[in-house]
Amino acid sequence: MSAGGAAGGDAAAGELMGVVLAAGKGTRMRPFSEHWPKPILPVLGKPLMAYQLEMMAGLGIRSVVVVIGHLGHEVVRTLGDGSRFGVRITYVEQEETLGIAHAVSRLEQHVDRPFFLFLGDIFFATENLGSMVERFRERSLGGVLACKREPDRDAIKRNFVVLTDERGVVHRVIEKPRHPRTDLKGCGIYLFDVTFFDAVRRTPRTAMRNEYEITDSIQIFLDDGYAVEAAEVVRDDMNVSYPADLLELNLGLLGATGQTNYIGADVQSAGDSTLRGCVAMDGARIGANVHLTDCLLFPNAVVPDGRAVARSIFTPEDEIRCASGG
């Protein structure tokens, strides 16, 4: 897997804003979620969300609103004002996590122009993301949904499907379908006009999860008569839901670089230790007679002397074993 570019939209997106939702608790990522909000988990030397901010910067977006909640101070500490990623960040707090549409509803007073919306806990590899902007402007659309053709039906059932006509015009979206009627999956990147907030305000809580689903907001938007299109611009996406997902993402990106290992700054390793297929973040320390294969070391993690381990994640507080195959 490799990070995708945003070619084709640098000038066109200058009038857009960016939004990233980074308020979730990530309970399935424990023990990481006790110290690290999912959007700032380390991915090949950078916070996960940094890849999204850099995509936005590549599109010419300079102003980004980040919605924070669980351990929001850690997100702020890690990302700062956004300048090192080419953007200016404003932080908005979501005090209750009641679904994506609820998070979007916190944004209305902070967003005054069309906006890209990213879900902050997903790694995206995209192609020609700027084409979403071109379609949005040329066809005077209310929205564009980033999609991919998903061969894995279980992955579709965990997300949402997008039903379109032959021109790519969306007429229905279905959250977590039990019986998908298409392989066109929505992927957690959206481009909306500010009129979308009218639909968000009228979105009811769902019976299934007692949350405000963005797919319900999109359907209300469609039913109001706004034109929304699907754009197949996502090559790959990984929702980092479990520790093994984070390991696989790092190892996949490492493999795409062609390097044997990724070694961050100030990593200390004893001379008789070996690493093969490992990602060691800044400040990690590796003891004597240590042999690691396919492992991830968080910043400032410590691996004690004499360890011979495969497929583990080391943090400053824990070691998490990840079974082969996830």
Q: Mind listing the pLDDT tens digit for each residue in 193-228?
A: 999 999 999 998 776 666 788 999 999 999 999 999
C-alpha distances in Å from residue 274, one per residue of 147, 228, 261, 290? 41, 52, 10, 6
C-alpha distances in Å from residue 124, one per residue of 52, 115, 249, 267? 8, 18, 11, 28
What is the rounded CA–CA span in Å between residue 142 and residue 192? Answer: 6
Is residue 19 within 8 A of residue 140, CB to CB? The reply is: no
What is the rounded CA–CA span in Å between residue 291 and residue 308? Answer: 5
The shares of helix, strand and coil residues in the chain, as percent rounded to the nearest 5, are 25, 30, 45
* Confidence (pLDDT) at 324: 62
What is the rounded CA–CA span in Å between residue 250 and residue 280? Answer: 10
| Domain map (residue ranges) of the chain | 17-239, 259-317
Which amino acid does the sequence have at 131?
S
* Confidence (pLDDT) at 129: 93
* Confidence (pLDDT) at 4: 55
The distance from CA 110 to its chain's CA centroid, rounded to whole angstroms, is 21
Which amino acid does the sequence have at 243?
P
Which amino acid does the sequence have at 305?
D
Length of the chain: 326
Please list the alpha-helical segments (H only) found in the chain.
48-58, 72-79, 100-105, 130-138, 153-157, 196-201, 214-223, 243-257
Is residue 94 within 8 A of residue 55, CB to CB? The reply is: no
Is residue 132 within 8 A of residue 231, CB to CB? The reply is: yes
What is the rounded CA–CA span in Å between residue 213 and residue 209? Answer: 9
- Residues of the chain where predicted confidence (pLDDT) is lower than 70: 1-14, 25-34, 97, 207-210, 324-326
List the one residue out of 205, 20, 228, 16 whose CA is nearest residue 106. Answer: 20
Instruction: Give every CB contact of residue 182 below 8 A, 6+ residues apart in sequence.
Output: 161, 162, 163
What is the rounded CA–CA span in Å between residue 201 and residue 193? Answer: 14
CATH, domain range 259-317: 2.160.10.10
Structure tokens at 187: 């992927």
CATH, domain range 17-239: 3.90.550.10
Is residue 181 within 8 A of residue 163, CB to CB? The reply is: yes
* Confidence (pLDDT) at 261: 95
What is the rounded CA–CA span in Å between residue 97 and residue 164? Answer: 30
Neighbours of 145 (CB within 10 A): 26
